[in-house]
C-alpha cells in the first residue's frame, strides 16, 4: 500500500471538518447492523471540495496488514462480510478528485484530510 493509515481506535462514525478548499473526507461511518461473522456491513464515506465526482478506494485492516477491499470507484459505499471474529479490524478509505490517476488519496502526503479510518471490531 502506498500512503498510510494510523489505526486511531475510533469506533462507529468519524467526521472531519473541512479547513480549506481542498478535497476533504468529511465522514466515514458504518451502518448500525450486527458486528458478527457472516453479517454484511455497509460503510459510507462523504467528501467535500476538490472536483466531483469523487473516487473512493476502500481498505481493510486485519490487525496486521492493510489489503484493498474495493479499488477506485465513484461509489461512496462499500460492503464487507467478515468471516471470523477479529477485535482488531478497521476500515479505511481514500478519496481523490475526478480525473486524478494517482493511486493515492488526493494531495497525499500534504493533504492529510483526504483519507481516514474507523476501527470495527468483529465479535
Alpha-carbon radius of gyration of the chain: 14
CA dist., res. 78 & res. 69, Å (int): 8
Q: How confident is the model at residue 6, as a pLDDT? A: 52
* Residue 86 near residue 122, CB atoms below 8 Å: yes
Strand locations in the chain, DSSP E? 13-15, 24-30, 41-48, 55-61, 66-73, 77-80, 90-96, 115-119
Q: Residue 7: is its pLDDT beyond 90?
A: no
CA dist., res. 15 & res. 17, Å (int): 7
Q: Residue 88: is its pLDDT beyond 90?
A: yes
Q: How confident is the model at residue 3, as a pLDDT? A: 53
The 10s digit of each residue's pLDDT in 25-62 is: 999 999 988 899 999 999 999 999 999 999 999 999 99
Prediction pTM value: 0.83
Amino acid at each position: 500500500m502506498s500512503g498510510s493509515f494510523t489505526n486511531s481506535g475510533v469506533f462507529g462514525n468519524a467526521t472531519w471538518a473541512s479547513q480549506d478548499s481542498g478535497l476533504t473526507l468529511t465522514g466515514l461511518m458504518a451502518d448500525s447492523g450486527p458486528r458478527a461473522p457472516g453479517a454484511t456491513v455497509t460503510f459510507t464515506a462523504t467528501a467535500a471540495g476538490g472536483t466531483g465526482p469523487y473516487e473512493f478506494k476502500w481498505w481493510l485492516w486485519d490487525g496486521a496488514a492493510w489489503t484493498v477491499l474495493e479499488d477506485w470507484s465513484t461509489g461512496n459505499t462499500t460492503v464487507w462480510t467478515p468471516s471470523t471474529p477479529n477485535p482488531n479490524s478497521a476500515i479505511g478509505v481514500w478519496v481523490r478528485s475526478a480525473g486524478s490517476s494517482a493511486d493515492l488519496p488526493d494531495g497525499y502526503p500534504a493533504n492529510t484530510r483526504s483519507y481516514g479510518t474507523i476501527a470495527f471490531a468483529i465479535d
